[in-house]
Amino acid sequence: MAYEQILYEVKDHILTLTLNRPDKLNALTPLMRKELLGAFDRADADDQIRAIIVTGAGRAFCAGADLGTGIETFDYQTRDGQMQAEEHRDGGGQLTLRIFESIKPVIAAINGPAVGIGITMTLAMDIRIAVQNAKLGFVFARRGIVPEACSSWFLPRIVGISQALEWVLSGRLFSVDEAVSRGLVRSSHGPDQLLPDARDLATEIADNTSAISVALARQMLWRMLGADHPMEAHKVDSRAIYYTGKSADASEGITSFLEKRPPKFTDRPSIDMPQFYPWWEERPFK
């Protein structure tokens, strides 16, 4: 499958998605967003892919939305004719919601500046690592708009409400060191080590874990962030351990441990997810 603004590369069960507009600092366009949405659909359907790394080509991760249309960039009524506010869907939000739905773990390898949608798109990813000299920023208030891409849900859950507000209300750029100290980014890396270190993280998952276990656990942890009582987690935990406990992967996990050898898991998310999955009702946009 050919892409114009991203690269899709699979090696050793790891998919690397690269934002590929280096001359524009990988600024997000509607086409890039569409290609990313399709890439996550493709990855979920491919049982050979066990983990996903998202990074950028050139010296930036993503400089935010492409501002090539000038003052009409965020004026959707002008751009989209008669569309009303109730009908408009934020494109960044559609992207982060799709990442949120992923059954494969997602690692952001932030190789350079990441601002606006360039940083909010990573909030739905599971692990963020960054090159040491990158600058990050939730710059929306300095552009006269507001945070998007569901970041008002994700960001406070990752760093806490006070820190989220300080970054969002000021709109200032901040360093990777600050991001690490506040819990937004896991770790900082030299430029030559960023992708190898991201691959090491992805390989740890790909080589040692059950794809079904990872897919279920990813959704369990993310979705329980919105639960109103631990009983909701107990309900899902109970069903999940019941179904996985009798699976071929559970048998292999225990046998390989007792035999002191690496496991060889065979269950496939495309066909072997338990009967109760998904346990949530899809949320309509209305």
Please give the residue range of the domain that contains residue 14.
6-205
Tell me, yes or no, whether 282 lies in a domain. no
User: Does residue 242 fall inside a structural domain?
Assistant: yes
Mean pLDDT for the stretch of residues 26-47: 97
Give the pairing of strands 135-137 and 127-131. unpaired
Residues 116-127, mean pLDDT to the nearest whole number: 98
110 lies in the same domain as 133: yes
Binning pLDDT at 50, 70 and 90, where does residue 78 land? low
- Which of 184, 205, 226 terminates a domain? The answer is 205
Any idea what the CATH number is for the domain that residue 154 is in? 3.90.226.10
Encode pLDDT of 173-212 as tens digits: 999 999 999 999 999 999 999 999 999 999 999 999 999 9
Query: In terms of domains, do 89 and 178 share one?
Result: yes
- Number of domains the chain contains: 2
Q: Are 220 and 227 in contact (CB under 8 A)?
A: no
Same domain? For 173 and 34 the reply is: yes
Q: Can you tell me the distance from the alpha carbon of 237 to that of 215, in angstroms, rounded to the nearest whole number?
A: 14
Is 281 domain-assigned? no
* 74 pLDDT above the threshold of 80: no
H-run or E-run covering 225: none
pLDDT at res. 57? 98
Same domain, 185 and 254: no
Judgement on whether residues 162 and 38 belong to the same structural domain of the protein = yes
Which of the listed residues 205, 231, 248 is the one where a domain comes to its end? 205
Residue with tokens 């009702």: 281
Q: Choose one of 155, 178, 205: the last residue of a domain.
A: 205
Is 81 in the same domain as 214?
no
175 occurs within a structural domain? yes
201 occurs within a structural domain: yes
Residues 215 and 195 in one domain: no
Q: Element (H or E) spanning 241, and its range?
A: helix 230-245
17 and 83 assigned to the same domain: yes
pLDDT by residue (tens digit) across 201-246?
999 999 999 999 999 999 999 999 999 999 999 999 999 999 999 9
Same domain flag for 100 and 14: yes
Percent of the chain clearing pLDDT 90 (strictly above): 91
Residue 284 forms part of a structural domain: no
* Contact (CB, 8 A) for 111 and 61: yes
Predicted pLDDT at 3: 97
Note whether residue 264 is domain-resident.
yes
Residues 224, 89: one domain? no
CATH number of the domain where residue 239 is located? 1.10.12.10
Query: Residues 265-285: pLDDT tens digits?
Result: 999 999 999 999 999 999 999
Do 201 and 231 belong to one domain?
no
Give the residues across from 130 on adjacent strands: 110, 188
Same domain, 28 and 97: yes
Give the whole-angstrom CA distance, residue 216 versus residue 214.
Answer: 6
Q: Is residue 260 part of a domain?
A: yes
